[in-house]
Amino acid sequence: MEKAIVLYPSEGRGHLIAMVELGKLILKHHPSFSITIFVLNTHSASTAQHVASSTAQYIAAIEAATPSITFLHLPPISGVPSTLFPPELMYLVPRLNNPNVHQALQTISHTSKLKAFVIDFFCDAAFEVAANLSIPTYYFFTSSASSLAVFLYLPTLHKNLDKSFKDLNHMLIDIPGLPSIPASDMSKATSDRSSKVYEYFLDSATHMAKSNGLLVNTFELLERNAIKALSDGLCVPDGPTPPIFCIGPLILSCNQDGDDHQYECLNWLNSQPSRSVVFLCFGSMGLELFSAKQLREMAVGLENSGQRFLWVVRNPPTDNNDKEPDLDELLPQGFLERTKDRGFVVKQWAPQAEVLSHGSVGGFVTHCGWNSVLEAVCGGVPMVAWPLYAEQKMNRVVLVKELKVALAVNESEDGLVSAAELEKRVRELMESESEAGKEVRERVSGMRDAAVAAVKGGGSSHVALAKVAELWFTSTSTSTC
């Protein structure tokens, strides 16, 4: 019987890509495995049509190039209220899929030896399904080791604090392996202990601690302190910590986007001087879109910075995520004309991984999504950290204070980032005489080399993945399907 691994990513392009890259790497170590990737079939409001179609092309390209990877599309779930807070929705959809997951795992087990079930933390509901079937279950944590430390430490914080993070304002929260995090910078999903999503997070933290192992998309040199705290068991003080495997950075390999678009912005980058362009792009989810006012502030800041820029612009929140932005209407009058010799504005979507690995890009203004961070690190591109949602405010603290690969953008009380603030940070990041910029440029360049070394034969991530793949290959555990 064939040896099989099942991977279960959650919704979100970043989560899917990281899981696919994991599948490809497992096959490098053991080409005889068959890999099945479960794909959630959702039509959430946060997934705009251009993202959905780009993801479908991506899946088709992977299937064509890698026959040992099969995608199993789970049936659509009806009646999910799309108005739910996004993380709650991301937990709920897999939960409603449990019967389908149960059936799919059983079907696979009839023809293969199921060696491991690797799930995203949002797919935590499947942990119990797998436990009932005695399938060894691992979590693939597609965010940072620092976020994982917070996650695993959440039950301890829950016990030690008597208030929600949202009521602790700027009180500093101490988590093993991390700089102190203001309570107001903790993930919005965990800010209210009476919420459903907080309960989901607590449950997943508890399950993760009981799983067979945790794979993390990071590498040892990047997050040394957080990884050490995790491995030393400091984040789960009340019990054993499962083995931690830092196997990253797993990022989208360039040119494998599955998208056969000829992106004009790449041609434009070819004509720009080395490391001269600042790239601005804020994730795939279409959550927390910028207001029209914020877009205008950004335009003024960029224009006044005098720097070359490549900027991905989306519409402010509307009923129709797919409507193309009307740049003439959104941006200040004459902006496009005045900046045409040094700026390029892309509507909706850019091939980010390729952009960040292009030699003309010298800085990145990012929402601090972990895949974006890793893509920047792999391109040796320093960042301005402008968090928008999920755990991104916490990522900003870690990127600025601990990893020292980013400068923080400061928003005003109402959340707006002024033109002057953006101009200041972009100048600091890009201008050669800026000391702050020099520090993050040097630091990220060292991290790029460390990332290359980590995934090479004998590197820390290569060794960790070889270890876990071997464990799966040789394990004798059999499911009760």
Quote the least distance from Cβ 393 to ligand UDP, whole Å: 13
Which residue number, 230 or 378, has a Cβ lying nearer to ligand UDP?
Answer: 378
Quote the least distance from Cβ 52 to ligand UDP, whole Å: 13
Which residue number, 54 or 100, has a Cβ lying nearer to ligand UDP?
Answer: 54
Asked if 142 and 284 touch (Cβ cutoff 8 Å), the reply is no
Torsion of CA 427, 432, 435, 440, to 10 degrees: 80
Quick check: is 15 catalytic? yes
- Of the candidates 15, 207, 358, 367, the residue annotated as catalytic is 15
Distance CA 406, CA 386 (A): 10
Instruction: Return residues touching ligand UDP (CB under 6 A).
Output: 12-14, 17, 252, 281, 283-285, 312, 349-353, 369-372, 375
Asked if 177 and 146 touch (Cβ cutoff 8 Å), the reply is yes
Which residue number, 254 or 416, has a Cβ lying nearer to ligand UDP?
Answer: 254
Q: Look at residues 91, 33, 43 and name the one whose alpha carbon lies nearest to residue 67.
A: 33
Assign 27 to helix, strand or coil.
helix
- Of the candidates 29, 43, 110, 120, the residue annotated as catalytic is 120
Q: Look at residues 311, 269, 273 and name the one whose alpha carbon lies nearest to residue 294.
A: 311
Quote the least distance from Cβ 284 to ligand UDP, whole Å: 3
Q: Look at residues 274, 327, 337 and name the one whose alpha carbon lies nearest to residue 303.
A: 337
Say what angle helices 224-231 and 145-160 make with each other, to 10 degrees.
Answer: 50
Which residue number, 321 or 372, has a Cβ lying nearer to ligand UDP?
Answer: 372
* CB burial of residue 82 (10 Å; 0-12, 13-18, 19+): exposed
Quick check: is 50 catalytic? no
Asked if 168 and 178 touch (Cβ cutoff 8 Å), the reply is no
Which residue number, 281 or 377, has a Cβ lying nearer to ligand UDP?
Answer: 281
* CB burial of residue 332 (10 Å; 0-12, 13-18, 19+): middle
What residue spans of 115-258 are helical by DSSP H? 126-132, 145-160, 196-210, 224-231
Quote the least distance from Cβ 430 to ligand UDP, whole Å: 21
Residue nearest to ligand UDP (CB): 369
Reported residue count of the chain is 481
Quote the least distance from Cβ 418 to ligand UDP, whole Å: 24
Quote the least distance from Cβ 282 to ligand UDP, whole Å: 7
Which residue number, 234 or 254, has a Cβ lying nearer to ligand UDP?
Answer: 254
Asked if 214 and 127 touch (Cβ cutoff 8 Å), the reply is no
Please identify every residue annotated as catalytic. 15, 120
